[in-house]
Every structure is written in C-alpha cells, then in structure tokens.
Amino acid sequence: MKNISRYALAALFLAAVIGGCKSFTKGYAVNPLAPSSSPPTQLFTGAEGAFDEFMEGFPAQMASMWAQQVTGSDRQFSGYYTYNTSAQDYTNDWGTAYSNALMNLRLTESEAAAAGQPNLVGAAKILEGIQMGTVTALWGSVPYSQAAQPNLTLTPKFDAQLDVYNEVQAALDSGIALLSANKSTLPADIFSSKGNPSIWLAAAHTAKARYYMHVARQSGYSAAILNQVITQAQQGILALSGSQDFMFLHNKSNGTYNGDMNLWYSFMVYDRSGYMSASKNFAVPMMKALARDGKTNDSGRVAYYFTSNGKGLNTAAEGAYSATSPYPIMRASETHLLMAEAYARLGNTSSAITELNNARQYNDNVFGDKSQPYAASDSAVTGATNLLQTILNEEYLSLMHQIEVFNLVRRINYQIQYQDSTGATVKLTPTIGTQFPQRFFYPTNEINANPNTPAQITSDLFKPTTVNTP
C-alpha cells in the first residue's frame, strides 16, 4: 500500500490489532508487539493478534472479492474487484505476515522453550504452520527457511512453493508432537479455544488436511495425497455443534473501535463505508437456487452473512459482521468437506455423501438452516460429476469470506456453478476480461529490499502458482 492509497487500511488495521493486543494484556506493562522485552505469553498474544490481522483483514477481503462473495463498490475497492491491483497494495500485509506474525511466533518458540513451556512452543508452531501455509498459497514461492532470522540474513531466499508446503507440514507435525506430550492449558490464548490444547490439536490436523489438499491437484489428486487428507481430517475439528471451531473472538472489550472490534465491521461502518458491499455477489443467488432440490434450505446462513435483500453484509448484532462477531479461522464444516471431496475423488461415494451430510447438519446446527440429508438417489449426488460438484459448491459456501475460499476456487479452476430456474447452468465468470486472478503480487518493499524476490510483471496476476498449474 502506498501512503493512503489503500484507504489507510495499513494504519487502521494495525491500530485495531495493537489496541486489541493492549486490551488482551491489560494489567501488563510490556507491549506484546515489542519482542525484545516481552515474555513468551505476551509474544504469543502479539503473534495471535498479527495472525488475525492477516487472516481477517485485507487479504480476506481481496480473496472474497475475487471469489465473488463480496463486491468492491467504491474507490480502490471497485478497482480491486475488477483486478486492478499492483505490488504496492500488498506491502502492509506482507509485513504483517512476516514482521509481526512469523517473527513473534519464532520469538515465542525460542523464549517459551527457554522458559520450560513446551505447550506454548507447540501452539506457536501450529499457528506458524497455518500462517505460512496461507502465505505460500497466496504468493507462491516465498521466504520461509531463512525468514524471520535477522541474525542469519536480511535478504532471505524464496523457497519453492512445494518446499514451503513441506516445511508447513513439518511445523504442524512439530507442534502436534509437542502439544500432544504437554497437554496443559495454554496461557494467553485469545481464540475461541480458550487454552484448550485438544482444540489446538484438532485445528492442527484440519490444517494438515487443508494443506495436503492444496497440493493434491499438482499431484493429479493421487490416492496417496487424498488418503493423507482423510487421515488428518479424521483427527481434526469435527464437532457438528460448532464447539470445536477455531475462531478469533472480538468481545473482550465489547468490540470497541481500535480495541478488539471485528475488522470487517470496523472497515464497513467506521473506516470506509460503502467501499465494499455484496451487490453482485455469487453466493446468495446460488444458495437460493440450490433450494430448488427440495432438500436444501440455506436461509439461516444467508441471513447470518447478508442483509435481507442479499446485497449487503450483515453488520447487525446477530450477523457475521457486528462489532463483536467472531471471525472463523477453521470450522468443522471445512474438515468434513475436505473428507467428502477426497472420498469423492477416490470413488467412495457412500463416505463422500456421509461427510457432505455432516457439513449440512453443521449448517443446520450453527446457522439455523433447515436442510435435509441427501440420499444416494437424490439428483444432486447421483453420478460422480454431480456428487463432486455438489461438494465443491458446499465448500465454496462454507468458506464464506475467508482467504481459503480463494485458495479453493483457484485449485478447482473456479468451477463453481448452479442451475437457475430455467435449468440453465450459471457459472462463476471473471468480473472483467476472460481470466481469473491466481495470486497476490510480491510487495514493493520486498522488491526494493530483497534481491532474491522473483521478477514479476502485471500479467503474473493471472499466472497460476505451482500447486495450481495444470
């Protein structure tokens, strides 16, 4: 981002998170974002806040626009919606990912190990894996093996994307091993997990399943990778009540501005009203069309995310984007749908339908939907093509307004579709031109400071990363 060219979001989001971190550590004299003087618990709080700023902030909004679940309606956002973006737009988010999140996580790991807190080391490793799995998904080749190690180098090499995914899996494995052996309650946990190590371990396994699926296309959806997805997901976030969901909370100070307010609410109500809407979103018409199968009723989910006319995002008290609404990092529905997709691609129709129905039951329980389970004879799931498309459609809707929905649509070539009232197929199409976005640009500051940054040109926006290259 250049000066105020991106609505000063850099400063606003950072202020919101820093303010949130201050409220989370009320009573302490040490700033959790000042690594040189912070104990491991406060370093961890700072890392969690930066992690959320990245996951909930501008990257999630850009991902949602490009997946057509929200609409850029004014100023810079109308340009972003039609793929008018450049390297300067990603400077703050790159810094948040590395300087604030990864650096604080690495320091947490070091300081917690020295302080005899292996459970905190394990949690930091898990969060590091989720953070860097998301970073490589968005940018492709990125620094990791040499990143956040200023004593080693200030110009880290860019690791190949598949190598980064391997490192991500290793970080998650390390975190799982440490936390499994040291299951005491985690201090300084500001997620919905509230220090419960079992939920952190479940999140780690869902993350492993997620990132195995990220690389599955590049392997031709091999049985070996798909079985890894299933094995990890079976140990992941599974509770159909939503009780295991990994959410970032925004109610410690009642969602105060520049405190712990939901970042989407802050943006849409306080910071840049009108910049983002849902006026051309693909999700609401799709959910209404799917109801014609006689078994699907997404009315609760529609009402949670969108206004009554389907053209705006719900910032009311009961909606997804009130000042105090939690923001999802991982839901149980994602875990079940990863298994459903893997089973479907392996030809195990019965298990695929079971997991799809589990996701539908989750929606009924959490959003108040009124869907019924599919039977094997229902048209939505008869035949391999119908079954897989139904699962992919549900994945698209279950990842609503998260970075992960952009990762999904790129992996499946944006093949999200439904039939309208005439029986015609309605597909996602680019908002302009004939190509969909495939990645974020490397930011200006990294290009200027690090000679290892890969060369890029404007058209690279539409060049798939390694894992999404046919």
Give residue 470's pLDDT: 81
Q: Is 331 helix (H, G, I), strand (E, B) or coil?
A: coil
Q: What would the two tokens of residue 281 be?
A: 């979103």
> Any residues with CB less than 8 A from the CB of 202 and at least 6 apart, and which?
235, 236, 237, 238, 244, 246
Residue 37: per-residue pLDDT: 52
Strands (E), 1-105: 71-72
> How many other CB atoms sit within 10 Å of the CB of residue 30?
13
Using H for helix, E for strand and C for coil, what is the string for 396-419?
A: HHHCCCCHHHHHHHHHCCCCCEEE
CA 197/CA 121 separation, integer angstroms: 12
pLDDT at 252: 67
Query: Residue 246: which H helix or E strand, with range?
Result: strand 246-248
Residue pair 174/131 in contact (Cβ under 8 Å)? The answer is no
Separation between Cα atoms, residue 326 and residue 251, nearest integer Å: 8
What does the alpha-carbon distance between residue 291 and residue 299 come to, in Å, rounded to a whole number? 9
Q: In the block, which residue shows the tokens 């640009």?
A: 441
In this structure, the strands spanning 246-248 and 425-427 are unpaired
Pairing of strands 327-330, 425-427: unpaired
The tens-digit pLDDT sequence of the chain (470 residues) is: 333 223 223 333 333 333 333 333 333 234 444 444 589 999 999 999 999 999 999 999 999 999 999 999 999 999 999 999 999 999 999 999 999 999 999 999 999 999 999 999 999 999 999 999 999 999 999 999 999 999 999 999 999 999 999 999 999 999 999 999 999 999 999 999 999 999 999 999 999 999 999 999 999 999 999 999 999 999 999 999 999 999 999 986 666 777 789 999 999 999 999 999 999 999 999 999 999 999 999 999 999 999 999 999 999 999 999 999 999 999 999 999 999 999 999 999 999 999 999 999 999 999 999 999 999 999 999 999 999 999 999 999 999 999 999 999 999 999 999 999 999 999 999 999 999 999 999 999 999 999 999 999 999 999 999 999 98
Coil/strand/helix, residue 430: coil
Structure tokens at 373: 């389970």
pLDDT at 12: 33
**Which residues share a beta bridge with 327?**
248
**Which domains are present in the chain?**
9-468 (1.25.40.390)
Please tell me the total number of residues recorded for the chain in this structure: 470
DSSP state of 269: I
Place of tokens 């700023």: 53
